[in-house]
Amino acid sequence: MSARTLDTARRPAEGTQKQRIAELEREIRELKRLNEHLRQHATTPPPAPGRREHRPGAGPAAPGMPGGPGGPGAGAVRAARSPSPGLSPGPGPGPGPGPGPRPGPGVQLRVLGPVEALVDGRRADLGAPKQRTALVVLASQAGQPVPVDALVEAVWGGRPPRRALTSLHAYIANLRRALEPQRAPRTAPSVLRTRGRSYLLDERAVEVDAHRFGRDATAGWQALEHGEPRRALAAFEAALAAWRGPAYAEAAAAACAAPEVIRLQELRLSVAEGRGAALIALGRHERAVPELLAFTRAHPLREYGCELLGRALYRAGRQADALAVLRAHQHTLARELGISPSRALQHLELEILRQVPALDRR
């Protein structure tokens, strides 16, 4: 075949290709116009009730499509909804769901005591102790990726076997099946995710009782500061009711979980003191006294607990007992730590000795 014949045969193909490129460019321009219009529409605040929104250059809105004649035409809409020939369909930007409350997670994880997981209200089988330990470590760092090496260290207590990594991957696979029993095969997990050489427990998909405890504790202290002791008492009691034993019991000594365990235990003691303060503010001194006595005996160096006990005893008409508690605490501090009581305790002792009337009202 001659060169002229080849050139003649090539021209229709080139013309078809150029025509196809032009069509694609035109469709891309239409899609860009549509995307820009949707973006502007999404960011424009809605008109006030009873008023019709008007934008310069925009005509009446067409049925089912904002903007009307001034906006993108039906051809652009068809181009956005159906893939062009020769192009693979992609997810596209598309309008997202409207604002609204996020649905609650279907997985509830209890770590303030022996670890438990509820999936849609049913208790999940979390497997062997080492597998449960892996979950506890991940829960202590919920929302943060935990490196594989840290998990191996925590699960095997610093003495991992030769095939520890293989066993860990098996534990993670088992936990994923337990926490997401309805997940289809070969689909990405939404609860226990992979992040490089780390695993992450997604706090958006799991409700951890330790997080709820922290929220209730904060609500209690805020209510107490705003002079609402009844609401504070309810929040503190809800927070304390979440505890069923030592936090993260299966992995409390693990290096990556230990700081969270200490933080939660300290917060628990603070909440117990806050509950005592709420009881005193409500005038329930007889109820507060035995609980604060038990608390100060278990934690003799906590000065706020001692202050609350002295105040509750005084308001219950037990002035001598209140002074005895404060002076015993003073001796304990001097003997154990070589320090004097705080100014708050010293001031309270003077007020009790002087029987200051304001002490009955605070």
Question: What is d(CA 35, CA 72) in angstroms, rounded to the nearest whole number?
Answer: 10
The predicted structure's pLDDT at residue 18: 58
135-161 pLDDT, tens digit per residue, is 999 998 889 999 999 999 989 988 889
Token look-up 């993670």 returns 172
Residue 56, exposed/middle/buried by CB under 10 A (0-12, 13-18, 19+)? exposed
Residues with Cβ within 8 Å of 156's Cβ and at least 6 positions away in sequence, in order, are 130, 164
Query: CB count, 10 Å around CB of 268?
Result: 17
Looking at the predicted structure, is the pLDDT value of residue 58 above 60? no
Nearest to 106 by CA among 95, 114, 117: 117
Which residue type sits at 131? Q
Q: Is the whole model's pTM more than 0.85, yes or no?
A: no
For Cα atoms 111, 210, 243, give the angle at the middle one, nearest 5 degrees.
Answer: 65
Estimate to the nearest angstrom the gap between the alpha carbon of 234 and the chain centroid.
Answer: 22
- Distance between CA atoms of 223 and 234, rounded to whole angstroms? 10
pLDDT above 90: percentage of residues in the chain: 55
SS3 of 89, please?
Answer: coil
Task: Calculate the average pLDDT of the chain.
Answer: 78
pLDDT above 90: residue 172: yes
Q: Which residues, at least 6 apart from 103, have a Cβ–Cβ distance to it below 8 Å?
A: none
Q: Tens of pLDDT along 287-341?
A: 999 999 999 999 999 999 999 999 999 999 999 999 999 999 999 999 999 999 9
Q: Which helix (H) or strand (E) holds 146?
A: strand 146-147
Amino acid 353: pLDDT: 94
| 292's tokens | 């604060």
Q: Report the alpha-carbon distance of residue 304 to residue 65 in Å, rounded.
A: 64
How far, in whole angstroms, is CA 112 from its chain's centroid? 16
